[in-house]
């Protein structure tokens, strides 16, 4: 395989060998299982192949689910943009202490698994959460005054909690490079601040805002765990309906039709997303951050910034703080209403993680799940980097070729595919030699790699695009082969980006739950699977162990995000 990295961009198609491994992986472990489950499911329809699609488009209950899916995704996206854009402005235009730590803290929520988020909001706003405990103690109440869980508000709040960091990073990074001389020129011609914002800044930011909005909408449109756990039985998105039709009602034809409709819609969104992402790589007028950012000087600006950042940190960190603190708290008496006056500090929930109280022969200690998750995460890192690096190289060096334009949207498809459908596809497709892998532990990291692979490509592509072609050309003139150019020029320059991509893949693997719940072997559970087992069983001890495991997973995630912020290239693409 020749890595022709020093050839001009005009030589389109020269990077096609780099696509072989990524496309083979997607074909074998994404398109083949997906096609198998769709074919198997639709073949069971007694009324014909098109009957499930007709039912999906005419059933009042299904149409109600579709309307709710679009409505909650749209509202969540709008609220996330409204809440995140002021933060993107602050991060883009001003220097202040703790900015890197702020970005790391806000990024934790994005990679946390749904079950941890559900446990976190339960810990702060649930029936026995901190807020209700305090209110019940202060006003001597017998019942929790705040009903947050199983409400539409919980769904929207969790979505904003998840996705605000997308606005901060995509819009904020782009905004931080916009040439301030453009707005200064408008103001010198008589435009006030609002006119400059509306007629100059917003049009320039529109591709970045639209890109962030599309990505957020995709995640909200395919939301599963948030709606299932925090929304309760009254609310169902398309993803939850696919799960119910498959697991509860065994209506595989209708589930397959819904999965196909979801995939079609997601493909259209991903095509639009990748087109806008490519526009961001070739903006009109950009400047390095050191020429753009300045210090906050006025007391009014500092007060507004402090107020907003306090709200931002409150939303994105207080649930996690409540989760960790609640994992060390036990309510002593069940005879009296729960309050802050009958709680005690304890390490019992953590000690119980390795104790088999029922002496079950099938007991797997949660501490084993931690080791299993670590092993799966390391395997996912190796697979995701091995596949993502060639794809990112092809996109960075041959982005204008028809092949790159066609394949770029395909890389995002696993993010918008039903995890239930994909997991069942693995079970159906990989059930006969030479690919009878249903009992293989490798099946779980393969599913994790499908989710992590797009993030790896998106992390590496900008770093590769930032390498100046003259460096490669100079090395080639001095006699370096293409492989030597890649080894001695490209890899050292993107080393930090590789660390960021690896950390993303590791963290995503630790938190993946949807597909893992279907394909993981019982003796090899992951941390999210164990959390779900504890949450699905009654009793304070099970709930406490779920909190303890969630706190451990949140700690790993926090350390990973701190590492990402430490190693990421701050001014990638210094123009």
Question: What is the Cα–Cα distance from 459 to 464, expressed in whole angstroms?
Answer: 9
Q: What rounded mean pLDDT belongs to the chain? A: 78
Q: What mean pLDDT do residues 56-72 have?
A: 89
Report in angstroms the alpha-carbon separations of 37 from 28, 32, 52, 228, 521.
13, 9, 14, 23, 20
Is residue 59 within 8 A of residue 428, CB to CB? The reply is no
Cα dihedral 416→398→15→25 (10° resolution): -10
Which of the two residues, 311 and 365, has the higher pLDDT score?
A: 311
State the Cα–Cα distance between residues 504 and 501, nearest whole angstrom.
5
CA distances from 370 to 120, 397, 542, 553 (A): 19, 39, 17, 9
- How high is the pLDDT of residue 386? 92
Residue with the larger pLDDT of the pair 11 and 529: 529
Task: Tell me the HSE value of 231 on the side-chain side, using a 13 A CA sphere.
Answer: 21
Instruction: Count Cα neighbours of 147 within 13 Å in the Cβ-side half-sphere.
Output: 6
Q: Mean pLDDT across the stretch 276-289?
A: 55
**What are the pLDDT digits (tens) for 517-546?**
778 777 788 888 888 888 777 777 888 888
Mean per-residue pLDDT, 220-233: 82
Residue 10 — pLDDT band, cuts 50, 70, 90?
very low
Q: Compute the distance between CA of residue 63 and CA of residue 61 in angstroms, rounded to an integer.
A: 5
Higher pLDDT: 210 or 177? It is 210
Global pTM?
A: 0.79
507 touches 561 (CB < 8 A)? yes
> Which residue from 376, 419, 315 is spatially nearest to 507, judged by alpha carbons?
376
Determine the pLDDT at residue 235.
86
Helical residues (DSSP H) of 150-237, grouped into ranges: 152-166, 172-175, 180-188, 193-196, 202-221, 225
**Confidence (pLDDT) at 356:** 67
Listed by start position, the domains of the chain span 16-37+58-356+367-567
- What's residue 283's pLDDT? 44
Task: Express each pLDDT in 134-190 by its tens digit.
Answer: 888 888 777 888 888 889 999 999 999 989 988 988 888 778 777 677 777 777 777
Q: Is residue 271 very low, low, confident or very high in pLDDT (cuts 50, 70, 90)? A: confident
Say yes or no to pLDDT of 288 above 60: no
Position 281 pLDDT exceeds 60: no
> What backbone torsions phi and psi does residue 330 show, to the nearest 5 degrees?
-130, 135
In this structure, which CATH number among 3.90.226.10, 3.60.15.30, 3.40.605.10, 1.10.3720.10 belongs to the domain 16-37+58-356+367-567? 1.10.3720.10
pLDDT at 303 over 80: yes
| φ, ψ (nearest 5 deg) of residue 363 | -70, 130
Residue 338 has pLDDT above 60, yes or no: no
Return the SS3 of 92. Answer: helix
> Which DSSP string corresponds to 249-312?
S--HHHHHHHHHHHHHHHHHHHHHHHHHHHHHTS-S-B--GGGT-EE--SHHHHHHHHHHHHHH
Question: Which DSSP string do the residues of 356-415 spell out, in sequence order?
Answer: -TT--TT---HHHHHHHHHHHHHHHHHHHHHHHHHHHHHHHHSTTSHHHHHHTGGGGGGG
The residue among 223, 97, 98, 86 whose CA lies nearest residue 168 is: 86
- Helix, strand or coil for residue 465? helix
């Amino acid at each position: 395989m020749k890595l022709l990295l020093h050839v001009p961009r005009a030589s389109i198609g020269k990077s096609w060998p780099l696509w072989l491994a990524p496309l083979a992986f997607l074909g074998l472990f994404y398109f083949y299982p997906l096609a198998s489950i769709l074919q198997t499911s639709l073949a069971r329809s007694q009324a014909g192949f098109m009957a499930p699609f007709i039912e999906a488009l005419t059933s009042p209950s299904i149409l109600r689910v579709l309307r709710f899916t679009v409505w909650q995704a749209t509202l969540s996206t709008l609220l996330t943009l409204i809440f995140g854009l002021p933060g993107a402005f602050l991060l883009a235009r001003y220097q202040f202490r703790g900015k890197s730590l702020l970005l790391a803290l806000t990024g934790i929520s994005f990679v946390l698994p749904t079950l941890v988020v559900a446990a976190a909001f339960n810990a702060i706003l649930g029936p026995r959460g901190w807020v209700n405990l305090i209110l019940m103690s202060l006003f001597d109440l017998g019942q929790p005054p705040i009903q947050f869980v199983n409400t539409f508000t919980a769904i929207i709040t969790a979505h904003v909690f998840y996705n605000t960091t997308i606005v901060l990073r995509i819009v904020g990074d782009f905004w931080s490079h916009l040439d301030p001389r453009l707005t200064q020129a408008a103001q010198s011609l008589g435009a006030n601040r609002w006119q400059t914002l509306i007629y100059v800044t917003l049009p320039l930011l529109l591709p970045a805002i639209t890109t962030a909005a599309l990505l957020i909408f995709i995640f909200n449109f395919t939301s599963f765990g948030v709606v299932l756990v925090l929304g309760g039985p009254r609310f169902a998105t398309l993803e939850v309906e696919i799960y119910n039709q498959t697991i509860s009602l065994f209506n595989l034809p209708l589930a397959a039709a819904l999965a196909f409709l979801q995939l079609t819609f997601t493909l259209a969104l991903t095509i639009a997303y990748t087109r806008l992402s490519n526009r961001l790589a070739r903006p009109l007028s950009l400047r390095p951050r050191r020429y753009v950012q300045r210090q906050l000087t006025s007391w009014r600006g500092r007060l507004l910034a402090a107020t907003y950042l306090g709200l931002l940190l409150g939303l994105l960190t207080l649930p996690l703080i409540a989760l960790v603190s609640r994992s060390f708290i036990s309510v002593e008496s069940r005879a009296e209403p729960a309050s802050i006056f009958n709680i005690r500090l304890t390490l019992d929930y953590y000690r119980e993680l390795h104790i088999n109280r029922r002496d079950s022969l099938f007991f797997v200690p949660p501490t084993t799940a931690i080791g299993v998750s670590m092993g799966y995460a390391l395997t996912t890192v190796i697979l995701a980097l091995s596949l993502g690096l060639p794809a990112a190289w092809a996109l960075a060096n041959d982005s204008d070729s028809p092949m790159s334009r066609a394949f770029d949207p395909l890389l995002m498809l696993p993010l918008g595919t039903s995890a239930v459908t994909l997991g069942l596809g693995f079970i159906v497709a990989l059930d006969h030699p030479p690919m009878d892998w249903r009992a293989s532990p490798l099946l779980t990291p393969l599913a994790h790699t499908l989710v992590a692979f797009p993030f790896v490509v998106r992390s590496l592509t900008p770093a590769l695009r930032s390498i100046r072609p003259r460096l490669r050309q100079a090395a080639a003139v001095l006699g370096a082969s293409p492989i030597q150019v890649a080894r001695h020029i490209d890899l050292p320059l993107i080393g930090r980006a590789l660390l960021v991509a690896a950390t993303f893949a590791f963290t995503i693997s630790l938190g993946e739950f949807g597909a893992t719940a279907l394909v993981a072997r019982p003796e090899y559970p992951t941390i999210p699977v164990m959390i779900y087992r504890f949450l699905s069983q009654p009793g304070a001890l099970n709930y406490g162990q779920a909190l303890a495991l969630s706190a451990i997973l949140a700690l790993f995630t926090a350390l990973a995000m701190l590492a990402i912020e430490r190693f990421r290239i701050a001014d990638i693409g210094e123009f």
